[in-house]
Amino acid sequence: MQKLFDLTGKTAFITGGAGLLGKQHAEAIISAGGHAVIADCDIGAALEVSKELGPHATAVYVDVNNKKNVQEAVEQFPRIDILINNAAKDPKVKKAGVLSSDTKFETMTEEYWLEGVATILNGTFFCSQVIANKMLQTGGGVILNIASDLGVIAPDQRIYNENAPKPITYSAAKWGVIGMTKYLATYFADHNIRVNALSPAGVFAGQPAAFVEKLTNLIPMGRMAHVDEYQGAVIFLCSDASSYMTGANLIVDGGRTIW
């Protein structure tokens, strides 16, 4: 059974790899025997993460919005067996449910919309296109797109400040990621490239108590996720344990979307 989850000899390219969940994805890959490429636009942070994770991690600069830059980053590796599209622009709650007034639909600027959607959708498209071409040359692989529970349900704006709601950019882009997952799964079905999505829920990272209480009241399990609770799902979706699974969206959300 352990062989099903074994990633020995596999190289995983993880965008946004220096972020909160990106680092966790890398740890999961390494724990299963693989090598994690920490691909991030913050090369300093990527280097710190790779140093912390040890010899089975490599840091590389990548701007997922720049296809040429993605190609240059990918060319450094003879093969990539796993792509985890994790990079995203997601405004964080800083105090009492407040994000930023830039997030209001009525007054959102064109620049905010384009930037918010681009990092997630363009990044997923460019990285999938470049790395899928490499996978086609090396016999196949796995693409794992990190979506969100907010790619399945709408954000409950009652838990945020009414003057600073969760932005439409994040929801629209994550719904798009799930759509791309289904498209690519059928497109590459005959080429040994499996494509699935993982939709996590909110991770507790020191958010204000009032916000946490409001959010956890929406979750049957009564709490936010621990930062490492998606590692098992990542290993499952990236390994042969999910060998007959493609085009799926695995929701790991404490039950929130069933209500």
Provide the 8-state DSSP code for 23. H
Helix, coil or strand: residue 224: coil
Q: Residue-wise over 43-72: b if at least 16 C-beta within 10 A, else e?
A: eebbbebbeebeeebbbbebbbbebebbbe
DSSP code at position 183: H
> Hey, which residues does 95 pair with through a beta bridge?
98
CB 165, CB 155: distance < 8 Å: yes
Let me know: does 222 contact 244? Beta carbons within 8 Å: no
Q: How far apart are the first and last CA of the chain?
A: 34
To the nearest 10°, report the CA torsion of 108, 69, 148, 245: 150
Q: Do 257 and 249 form a contact (C-beta atoms < 8 A)?
A: no
Task: Respond yes or no: is residue 61 known to be catalytic.
Answer: no
Contacts of 187 (CB under 8 A, 6+ apart): none
Catalytic residue among 61, 112, 160, 170: 170
Burial of 203 (0-12, 13-18, 19+ CB in 10 A): middle
Residues belonging to the active site: 170
